[in-house]
Structure 1
């Protein structure tokens, strides 16, 4: 295993993931699922699992509660993922990814339990106490957690520590009211999220890069990455303007592509703090490898290594 700085992934709103198959999704009759697979899910959990699959190591800080939380923890430990369990209020949610015989996938998610304010404060203190390197905050937030949680965590950790992959109100809050004295280290968005935040379409790669650069200029994050689906990702930062495009592959499931990207990207930075070019390259290959796997499965190291030479990397400042 290559030397790396410690990585702590944070999952405030994990899910016990079920993937299964069905001949056809229709309303009315009982629908009998086949080939069910249960996996521990949630943004940060999947990032830690992806890092482990790629030969690195990350500790998963996970807020878990109830019987579903106990099953989630058991599955994580069975996969060899180091876990820091945080006792969360209520029951850990569940999610489903159901694929029919035509290849259509239906994704259903329950909300998380409500958190009282003191639990969010307790979580912040515990994360900072456990962190000893890079921290990845990924996934949704449970109801009751303030939308400014990411800014609070970045401020408490200090510069160059926090990688963020969030959406919805927390992302809007981060972009609307950035703490320029303590910007997050890396912010990742997908194209839909970026367009929603920009207030207009970003149809061309250059449009996405311009928006990413505007966020860096405003002090939202030191580095901003926007995923463009089959067109890869762009990355903006101080003296950085990069684009990486993957090869075309057969898509079996898009679940886990973003988390696989974030895992591979963060692992490269944990091994070499300034290796942003290599991080974008690795993240693009990992995301592409993830869409080749069924259900909620993440990237496989062998697939990623095979894809890596086929990912074309371009310095847009050249």
Structure 2
């Protein structure tokens, strides 16, 4: 068993399909839809399984959509534990316009959470991490559901047992709070964000790799996280830790779809850490997985054979 646990607080049943042309007014006849389990943590777990891991996934699921997500994960290589929530798990709809090549994406809200639901979820996550044992890597990935306190990631970091490492890849107010109000007793091992999120937090553009590295290093120095990773699209990702500054760039690949690249990165990165590998090896593994993901169509995640072929071609340098 790989010592990797993913947590999805706001999963989604992803529905995708295509139509000849998107126009307002008339009924638009779509082709056969595709259904997939979605939400950051579930995508990370699915990608990790494709990369050869045996991840455990914890997801808050409710209603018919939640049951469908659980069924879709059967045979995926992901060991799933569900936490039942009242209400219906959200759905997302992606519609491809065959004439223009454009994609239209719609997301519905998930069920609203209460403080009692948060406390119960915290207890389950801590229990699952303890069952995995020393060396557990816990990945909290994706958006938070309506009603959840922005402080949830820090509350989880505060309760992580000795030997467990928490990787956070979130967005919105929860990410802003992590950066604006760091706490020494609630510091995650790793904080990952994309370029737009990093620039939003910085309050100005980060025009090059050096600027992103400086920003990541400043967050580490401020006690936001033990390690900060910032993605820069085709330029790869940068990583800063207390005594480490790294940049890893993938080789040029044919971009088919960028969907799933971030989750694939987190899967490769987290899986490498769970195997006891160092920052440099983990960064290269994540970079290769992200590059492999953009080579696949639609919402498909990375393929193991592509990631393996790309790994030695990823350029890693210490800055």
- Secondary structure of the residue aligned to 1:181 is helix
1:167 aligns with 2:167: no
Give runs of aligned pairs for residues 259-274 of structure 1, distance below 5 A. Answer: 259-273=263-277
TM-score normalised by L of structure 1:
0.95
Query: Shift of the alpha carbon at 1:19?
Result: 1.9
Which residue of 263, 266, 286 maps to 1:283? Answer: 286
Partner of 1:65: 62
Partner of 2:153: 150
CA distance in 1, matches of 2:77, 2:246: 34
CA distance in 2, matches of 1:26, 1:215: 45
Query: Shift of the alpha carbon at 1:295?
Result: 1.5
Query: Shift of the alpha carbon at 1:26?
Result: 2.2
Instruction: Say how many residue pairs are matched.
Output: 312
TM-score normalised by L of structure 2:
0.95
Query: Shift of the alpha carbon at 1:88?
Result: 1.3
Partner of 1:255: 259
Which sits farther off after the overlay, 35-44 or 154-163? 154-163
CA distance in 2, matches of 1:69, 1:128: 22
Could you list the per-position Cα deviations for residues 274-310 of structure 1 after superposition, in whole angstroms to 9, with x for gaps in the alignment?
Answer: x110111011110111111111111000111122222
Which residue of 31, 53, 58 maps to 1:56? Answer: 53
Q: Which runs of 5 or more residues in structure 2 are unaligned?
A: none
Which residue of 103, 108, 111 maps to 2:109? Answer: 111
CA distance in 2, matches of 1:111, 1:10: 18
CA distance in 2, matches of 1:111, 1:140: 11
Q: Which runs of 5 or more residues in structure 1 are unaligned?
A: none
Partner of 2:90: 93
Which residue of 219, 227, 235 maps to 2:231? Answer: 227
Instruction: Give me the CA root mean square deviation.
Output: 1.3
